[in-house]
Amino acid sequence: MRVIAGKLKRRKMKAVPGTSTRPTGDKLKESLFNMIGPYFEGGQCLDLFAGSGALGIEALSRGMDKAVFIDRSHQAIRTIKQNITQLQLTEQCEVYRNDAFRALQILSKKSYSFDLIFLDPPYEKIDYEQLMMNVVESNLLHSNGVIYVEHQPSEKINFDQKNFMLLQQKRYNSTTGITILQNKNS
């Protein structure tokens, strides 16, 4: 795994050991950032179900000011910390081991607000509709902020059309579907 573009271009990152995570491939990562960026002029992102932290790290490399990484796996948290230390990003990052739903509540209570939220949960182990409802209720996304959801290609992500505008929803390959939403609320 590597950083695709930005100030950390071509720098390598560690993957989470074992098969408990499904890293976002370099081609998909490049395609994703071409759709939502490709570069940023500051801002904050949340990498929920962060795994190795590759999506949040890519956003930092492309200009985000700060990233918050959440994962419930001890191995993933260790890997994220190794990656951000190796890439000298520790001052720009917060890393928490927690369940995604609890993390959303805690971040909301602490009045966090993000320009970009990555949702890349383990397939078939999460209720996407409940997850999206919790994201809306937590009020963590800035107006015009973007949510990226990675899912099985056969899965259709339901979202509240009063709150979100669909920017992209497609089958990326035989194992991955993507949905990109933008917050309509100002």
User: How many percent of the chain have pLDDT more than 90?
Assistant: 68
In a domain, 6, yes or no: no
For 130, the domain range is 26-34+42-183
What pLDDT, in 10s, does the model give residues 63-104?
999 999 999 999 999 999 999 999 999 999 999 999 999 999
Give the pLDDT band of residue 123 (cuts 50, 70, 90).
Answer: confident
In a domain, 116, yes or no: yes
In a domain, 5, yes or no: no
The pLDDT value given to residue 26: 82
For 124-144, what is the mean pLDDT?
89
The pLDDT value given to residue 19: 67
In a domain, 69, yes or no: yes
In a domain, 66, yes or no: yes
The pLDDT value given to residue 111: 95
User: How many percent of the chain have pLDDT more than 70?
Assistant: 97
In a domain, 48, yes or no: yes
In a domain, 105, yes or no: yes
The pLDDT value given to residue 53: 96
In a domain, 137, yes or no: yes
The pLDDT value given to residue 138: 92
Give the CATH number of the domain where residue 100 resides: 3.40.50.150
List the structure tokens of 90: 């520790």
What pLDDT, in 10s, does the model give residues 8-48?
999 999 999 876 666 777 888 888 999 998 999 999 999 99
In the chain, the number of structural domains is 1
The pLDDT value given to residue 136: 87
Mean pLDDT of the chain: 92
The pLDDT value given to residue 115: 97
